[in-house]
Each structure stands twice: as C-alpha cells, then as structure tokens.
Structure 1
Amino acid sequence: MKPSRRLQALSSAIFTEMNKRKRKLEQQGMKVIDLGIGSPDQPPAAHLIEALVNGVQNPDNYRYPTSEGSLEFRRTVTDWYAYRFGVQLNADDEVLSLMGSQDGLAHLALAWIDEGDVVLVPDPGYPIYAASVTLAGGEIYTMPLTAQNGYLPDLEAIPTEIRQRAKMMVLNYPNNPLAATADVDFFRQVVEFAKEYEIIVAHDMAYSELAFDLYKPVSFLEVEGAKEIGIEFNSLSKSFNLAGCRIAYVVGNAEIIRPLAVVKSNIDYGVFLAVQQVAIEAMRSDINGHFGNSIAKTYESRRDVLVDGLSEIGWNVDKPRATMFVWAKIPEGWSSEDFAFTLLERAGIVVIPGNAFGVEGEGYVRIALVEEENVLREVVQRIKESGIVG
C-alpha cells in the first residue's frame, strides 16, 4: 500500500529537520528560542475573548454553519473592506468565508486547475502556493523574486509561450517570507498583464495590517479593473491574533470565487458560528477605531530591537516595512541550511533556511518576530557569543 504519487512532490523536509534538531537539543537541556514559525505569541484583545466566550455559550451556534459564511459575517467583511481600502463588494457573491487563508489557497487550484494548466508562482513563496498546484495536477512556472527587482516578479521576463498557457498567477504582498511590499503601480501592471493573457490573479494579503513606519499596504482590488480578473485572500489570524480560531475570507470576482465555493461546500460545513461572531466583533471594533494599530506597533518595536541589535554585532539586515518576519541575508561562505543548523547548535535559536521557500531563497534565512523584546535581545546576545556572524 502506497500513498498517492502527488504526495512525492510535496515536501516539508527542512521544517521537519529543524524541529527534529530542536527537540534533540531540548532533550539535552538547552533552552531553545524558536523564531521559526510565524505563529502569533500574543492573545487577542480581551473584548474579543469575551465575544468568543459569549458565542460558545450560545446554544444556537451549535448547528451546522453554511460553508459560505453567515450573511452578517460577509456583510461585515464588505464594511471593513470599504473602510480600510475603499473597495466596494457585494456580500452575496463577492465574499466567501474560509478556515484560514491557507485553506482557501489550498483549494483554489482544485477549483480552477486541470492537468497541464500553468500557474505562475513566486519564488521564494509560501509553500502552499506551489503545493496546491501540485495537488491539482497543474504545472508550476516560478517567478523569481530578487532583491535587484525589489522582490517583485519581472512580468516581462515570462516567456510568451508561458503567458499564453498560464491560467492563474499567485501574488503575496506584504510578502511571506520576504517581508517585501508592492505599490499600486505594480498592481496596475499586473492587471494589464492578466487582462491581456486572460490570467486569474489570486492575491494573498494575510499581512495587510502588520505594517510599520506609517506605511499602509494597498489592496490589489483598489486598482481599476482588478476585480474583473482577480480575487484577494485576507485573514484575521495575524491582524487580530486569532490564528487558532481559523477564520479568513476571499473577496473579489464572483465568477472566480464561485468554483472555490463549490469545492468548499463538498468538503466542509463552514466555520463555527462563534468564531465568525468574534471575527465580526474584531472587524467592527477596528472600523470604530478601537485597535489603533496596536498589534502592528508591537511587531514594529520587536523589529527595531532585533534588526538594530543584529547591526550592532555586525549582521546588517534590511529593516522590513511590514509582516512579522525579517528576511536576512546570511554571511558569505554559508548555505542557508548550514547556517540555520549551526545557529541552532551554537546559539539555540531556530530560524528557517531561505531555500525552504524556493531555490531563490538560498543565501537567506527567515526570522519570525514571535517573542517579546527581552527575548529578542537575548537572541542578539546569543548570536554574538556564537561567533557565527561579525
């Protein structure tokens, strides 16, 4: 008995190896600081916990929810998108609830991609982008994201044959793992490109609210004509520290969303109503000004502590404008994996080798800002004492 062949093309080898090495060191008594996975370490605001408790205690919430999300949830998403981005959406067919944005991204390819269809995927990129295409039997064409091009794909470098065959393009700004950002001018180019070659654009915007230095990320759907060819995924996981609740949504073109909704309706019965209600409370609180970007401020302060501290010990890395990650170029003479393994062994610090996100990630590591500032100061001190940089 063997699992399906498609699983052979999926790999979490580097993540598994990092966890294996981490556990071994912990068993030997080392205190390991894990900056590997981007899982928020802070709880949601107290009034959101209260809303969730109230929802759990409501006996009416234990029936099957609908897979598309409650009408109240979908209407609140449209209100939030209008408030945040000035984008007008129809709650009836331009919003679909999801059990996390990864859930929607994973199933999108099943809804749209047949064997042999080409999907344009960023490299480096979040692993589900390529994995979803593989599971659907599609063909991946990677778009290199390099520092020289501002970590934006060079659309003109995509061969004409690939442009004509491509059915979908996946984008992600603010970006994981690169912490890169994109502006309206780039999205205008994408819309023009996608219209010319009839390509669906799927934009992952899970980090839209984790932005620093007064920077405000823009929605792909703000661009004129974007809704004609595109959809956008967003999540409450990072924006409101609700990662464990598994609540997100996709918005945009109704014709693109509908097949995804069909897939979802055959797989699950939707998000627990109590979780939808806490999401509604979170978005309404944001609209009413009760958050004030406090979560982003926390990550901004952590970013400054880590990046400034690393600079002081001779490891100069770029200071990102958004996300909960630092994309750090490693010293010469190391591979990404060797650097990450050695850092773990010498300093007890977990970071993710850049090549876990694609071949273009070689020469970098991703560092997640998921510890308090005092722990990040300890990280800097441990790296200094390890002698691995400087």
Structure 2
Amino acid sequence: MLLYIIVAFAFLVYVGIGIMLYKRRKERNIKSRSPVLIYITHWSNLLETLLTFPIIIEGYLNPYELDYYENRLYQVAALIAHYLVYFPYILRCYRLYFIFHLDKDWEIQNNRFKQNIHRTRQRWLVKMLCFCMIPVITACIICLFWKDADKYFPLNLSRPKNDWVDIPDCVYTFVCFTEELIMIAGIYAIKDISDDFNMSNELFYVGIIWFLTPAFSIYIRSSKVIWAIPYVIRNILLMLRSSLVPVIWSFFNKPLFEPLTIEMLSSLELTLQNAATLEAFEEFLRLEELTTTRSFGSINCGSGLSMLEFYLKCRLFANSGSSNLAENIFEDYLETKIVHIPAEVYLEIENGDFTDANLFNKAENSVIEKLKTYFYPKFMTSDQYFFLKRLIHRQEIYQYRLMQTSLHEFQINEHKKMVVECDDWPVPTLD
C-alpha cells in the first residue's frame, strides 16, 4: 500500500511541476532552455518513472503477472520514454556548444556560424530529436513483431530470475556504455562555457546524475528491485534539477553579469568601475607588492594594493558617512603611514569632521594620481591586462552570436529592466 501511495504522490508532483513549466514558459530561465525539449524531457521522465515503479512493486508482490503482449508493450513504452529523456539533453549540449564555443581564430564574422544559425532553433532541434529516435522506433517495431525479440531485450518482466542469458545483458551493458560515452563527450565539450542562464551548470549535474544507474546494472541478474530503484531516484533527481530548479529561478530576476568593453581599460577610473577589471587590477597590485618595492619621487610610493584598498574604503565612507568607518580608515592607513599623502592633507583630515562625506576627497585624489601615473602604466603591460583584452574579445563574439539567436531576446529584456533599476551603473548583459 505504501508503494502505491509513493507512486501517486510522485505522479502529482510531476504533474504540478509540469503545469508550472507551462505557465512560466515565457520566463528567461525556462524559455532559454528550449521549452519544447524541456516539456518532452519532463513528461517522458514521468512516463519512464511510472513504467519503472511496477518492477519495484511487482518485485515485492507477484513478479510474473504480465502476459506476452503486455510485456512487449511495456518494453516499447520504456524504450521510447527512456530516449525521449536522454536525447534532449544531448541536443541541448550541442546547442550550447554551437552558440558559445569559440575556435582558436575567434572571428566575430564566423561564416560557419552564420550559415548554420538554424541549428540553434527549436524546430531544428526537434527534427534532430526525431532523427535520433529512428533507431529506437526501429527497435520497438522489432520488439513488437518479432517473436524471439525478448531474447535480446533485458527488460522482460516475464522471464524467470534464473533464465537470464548473456546476449540481453551484453546489449544492455553496451547501450549503457554508449550513453555514458556520449554524455561525457557532451559535458566535456561545454566544460569551459559560462552562460547567463546556468544551462552548462545544469547539464553538468545532469551528467553526474545520469552516471547513477549503470553502477547498479550488475543487479539486473540477481535483483530487479535493486536494479530499478536507482532508475527512479535518477529520474526524480533529473526532474528536480531540470524542471523544478528553472521554475524556482523563474520567480527571481537574477542580475546578469556586467559586460566588458575595451573602453574600460582605457583609464584607471573606468577600470575601477567594473568588478572584473577591478579584480584584475587588484591581482596585479598584489603580485607587484610581492615582487618589488617601488618609490614615487621623493615620497615612498608604498603599497599599491594598500592605496587601492584605501581608495575603495574612502568611496564606501563617502556613501555611508559612518564616523566609525572614517576613524578606522584614518587609523589603519594614514596614522600608520601605510598610505602616504601630503602633510597638509593629513593635518586637514586629522582635525576634520569624521562625519563629513568629503573628508577624504583630497587624499583620494592624491592616491588616485599615484595609482594612475605609476602603477596603471605597468598594469597595461601585465599578463592581467592582456587576459582582460582576450576576455573582452571573447565576449564581443558571444554578444554577436547571442544577437543572432533566440537568447538575444532575453538579453534585451533584462537590459531594459536593469536600466530602469540602476541607471547609474554599467548594465550587465553577458557573462
């Protein structure tokens, strides 16, 4: 009785999430994933789960009740459902790889991409899914109309436990191995791809979850229950990651990453306004501090990293006006002489009002001037700088490709939302 309750509960959960997928289909976290493929995967997942539950239930009750034709229909339904779960994941890997993979030439005007842009669209993906299902349909026809087909299909509920033969086991093992090999190739192809919609992250976890079932294939001889339970667990985990998580994310407007442009590297002021360029500049200063001690004219230039930290904390104070923060800045950087500023500026701050938002303005200007004239020219010849230039070029290609695919629609919509919400900060549109 408990098993039937579990089956009914699982069915209701699948149906509920399927309804939410349909209702939220226009949201970016769902629509960007090729909704048709998501629907096919979700409902096929439910079908395969419902077809696997009888193996568990009948394993505890009466395992040999299916007649000849019922068993053949079961094999056909299980085979179709399984590959309608599997192939959409592979096609989604291919789509992500085709859009975001960059070859060694990194050309924006890529003729191969432009000529095959139709491969990113759902219609083409569904056609490919139908093409991939041809061998499966062929196997199903053989299973239905060839009397001895059960000798080659391992999922036969009517075969006694002691009557398993080598051929079905070999076929099953070979098919599992091939599935895993293709899945590994797909995940490996997109391992370096980062997208705003977390699709590569999802497919990575799908690959890990998919590896769960072959590990229990050895139990197909001794215990069909132990062999079937991992299939149910796998399908539920796939449903949670590929159906439920996008539905949950669709209720949140996750901010997109800030774009990088070559103009952001043209001056120190612009470099400090972007998180990625600021991080690269900070890494350069950290390495610079480890390797050498510099001087600036007659004044010890000090640590560039400390000056950057001082400047950022001064900006934080200007926005907050916290007297405690002002005292900490003065004690940690100026009083200890970690950051050097002109003596008159130091005295002005020491005797100033620690609640005045403009207290550190002159000190900031002095520090920025030192960073700009001494450290930033060196940064422009560093490995971090050239890494950013390569990254910017890569993102330009991403943006070009996104503009030619359905993903561009979501970038434009999110761009408009972010402009309204924070029009004083660079609007992030691409990872």
Query: Does the TM-score normalized on the shorter chain lie above 0.5?
Result: no
Shorter-normalised TM-score: what interval?
under 0.3
TM-score normalised by structure 1 residue count: 0.23
TM-score normalised by structure 2 residue count: 0.21
Structure with greater Cα Rg:
2
More strand by share: 1
Higher relative contact order (CA 8 A, sep 6+): 1
More helix by share: 2
